Amino acid sequence: MTINRIELVQGDITKVKADAIVNAANTSLLGGGGVDGAIHRAGGKAILEECIKIRNRQGSCKTGEAVMTTAGDLPAKYVIHTVGPVYNDGKHGEDELLTSAYLNSLKLATENHVTTLAFPNISTGIYHFPKEKAAAIAIKTVKDYLADHFIVRQVIFVCFDDENYGIYKKLLKY
Ligand code: AR6
């Protein structure tokens, strides 16, 4: 059952021992604040070095797309860097772009035989996506994907702040 394949935890994603953790990056792939800053700080320079190689190969990472690197010193094996949308007024394709960020991360995980994947609450910090709406999109996208894909066995939603954790608890009936 799909629901058993979704786990909810509150905490710091850099400490999570999943096959891959997802980073809420920006199009530059060169790091930033929030969870992106935490991942680069804790994972060490190997992550940035691979991000630079990817940039040299393909240019920036567009909003809604995803790329993968080593996880450096982190307990995870890989980091999937995706770029969520900056929330403007909800009329600039924000919902679709957030869906794409989750979906392209899941697809990249599948292509690389990732069995356990941890997501932060993409776009809900510096990018100001309304948290409740973002959680509904994240949960629906993941549930729909898991229903007919089986390489990714488990998805862990890692909520950092109390507000997101409360919203996920409610929506997942955890
Ligand atoms: N572990 C898990 N979640 C975290 C952590 C952590 N260590 N730290 C923060 N969060 P944000 P965005 C949560 O701002 O909104 C960066 O500068 C946080 O509570 O990290 O997608 C990038 O470079 C929030 O719920 O990402 C981009 O420029 C969630 O992570 C920009 O921020 C996302 O908040 C991306 O903005």
Segments making up each domain of the chain, as ranges = 2-171
CA distances from 38 to 32, 68, 139 (A): 9, 17, 24
Asked whether 34 lines ligand 1 (CB < 6 A), one says yes
8 Å CB contact between 110 and 151: yes
Whether 73 is catalytic: no
Query: Sorting pLDDT into bands at 50, 70 and 90, what band is 174?
Result: confident
57: left (phi over 0), alpha (psi -120 to 50) or beta: alpha
ipTM above 0.90, yes or no: yes
Look up the CATH number of domain 2-171. 3.40.220.10
Q: In the structure, what pLDDT confidence band is assigned to residue 4 with cuts at 50, 70 and 90?
A: confident
CA 39 to ligand 1 centroid distance, Å: 10
CB under 8 Å to 161, separation ≥6 — which residues? 121
Per-residue pLDDT band at 172 (split at 50, 70, 90) = very high
160 close to ligand 1 (CB < 6 Angstrom): yes
Cβ-proximal residues to 158 (8 Å cutoff; 6+ apart), any chain: 9, 10, 11, 12, 13, 16, 21, 118, 119, 120
pLDDT band at 32 (very low <50, low <70, confident <90, very high): very high
User: Has residue 1 got a pLDDT over 90?
Assistant: no
List the structure tokens of 68.
């993968």
Pairing of strands 66-70, 20-25: unpaired
Question: Does 2 score more than 80 pLDDT?
Answer: no
Going 43 to 31 to 141 to 58, the CA torsion angle's sign is negative
Active-site residue, from 36, 95, 144, 162: 36
**Distance (Å) from CA 57 to ligand 1 centroid:** 26
